[in-house]
Homo-oligomer: A and B are copies of this chain.
Amino acid sequence: MTEHDRTSAATLHDVAREAGVSLATASRAINGSTRNVKESNRTLVLDAARRLGYAANASAQAVARGTTTTVALLVGDVTDPYFSSIASGVVSAATERALIVAMSQTERDSQREVDLVRAMRGQRARAIILAASRRANDPHADELQRELEAYEANGGRAVFISTPSEDFRAVPIDNSGGARKLAAALLERGYRSPAVLAGPSLVGTSDEPSAKAADRLGGPAGLRTSDDRLSGFAECFAAAGHAIPSRRIISTAFTRDGGYEGMQQLIASGLDDLDMVFAVNDVMAVGAMSALRDAGIEPGRDLAVAGFDDIPTLRDVTPRLTTVQLPLTEVGHRALSLAIDDDAADAEVVEAEVVIRESTPQR
């Protein structure tokens, strides 16, 4: 007895034998089902389990119960603070509920995203949370849609972050409203001639930016999040009589390097009367500031900069960046709740708050 030197893990069978009870009793004692088991037997089983270092085989439980304890999380790139903040929220909310989160990176490739969804369908994940960015004109959108529909038809739950969806649950974020509020605040501070560093986009006021985007990215692709932020911002300025000329809307990658390169482009084409730059997310803004600095232009003092998201990194960046705050960890929590809890409040839009900091001084 208490033979520890087996080469494969102890099974419930072993525990039952060691405790001198039946398989059924052991099962009931260990997971506390509806059925009671006599106290003496329960401790017998529990002790045996401890002695054998028993850990129930989750896969076997999954097939027997017909349900797993896994939640899938798809992000674009964990290294990006936007995603890692969301991921952190998802993971901790999952841990509270004794769920495992299986995380994957789409690496911003929508084909890969489809593959990953299929893989998670195979895992019979209880839910799939898609934090990776949605494109307006995605060549694989249909395939993804079909995959997710099949997934939900079998009892899974898909949850999108940021982009509202007609067909699936979502934690919608008020991107355009946030951008509008930011624009209003900047107008009030005296800014009149902004440029925008947008992600790959289709929304540009002329065709130029989207054509460029299509060119750079091997196909037409507009990031919904970026589009919404761009249009909210641009509309507000336009409404105030300061329409943003299309050459001031740069389409670039939705990343730090994208921001850096976009800013370089802007500098190369001449700054003229430009008085500020709005990058549609913080990592881009931060990249843009570096590009400015590398060109001998002091961000904030010589040219104002603003971002979107309020990622934690910003606390340590100079000048402090004006941005639109999003409760990212909270978004992760809500996504998980929406994915798992049956009574989860539906789809309340996440409000975004403008935070004015040093990078956009009063003019």
Contact = CB atoms under 8 A, between A and B. Distances in A.
Interface of A: 4-9, 53, 55-60, 62-63, 66, 68, 70, 77-79, 81, 84-85, 87-88, 91-92, 95, 98, 100-105, 107, 116, 118-119, 121-124, 146, 150, 153-155, 256, 286-287, 289-290, 293, 312-313, 315-318
A63 B55 contact: no
Contacts of A101: 102-104
A66 B8 contact: yes
Pairs of residues from A and B, 3 with the lowest C-beta to C-beta distance, nearest first = A59-B62, A9-B154, A55-B122
A290 B312 contact: no
B63 A92 contact: no
A53 B150 contact: yes
B79 A124 contact: no
B155 A8 contact: yes
Copies in the assembly, this chain: 2
Nearest to A53: B150
A84 B59 CA distance: 28
A316 B57 contact: no
B102 A70 contact: yes
Nearest to A77: B88
A58 B120 CA distance: 9
A337 to B, nearest CB: 18
A6 B155 CA distance: 10
A363 B118 CA distance: 58
A256 B5 CA distance: 45
Instruction: Pick from A5, A84, A290 the residue with the most CB of B within 10 Å.
Output: A84
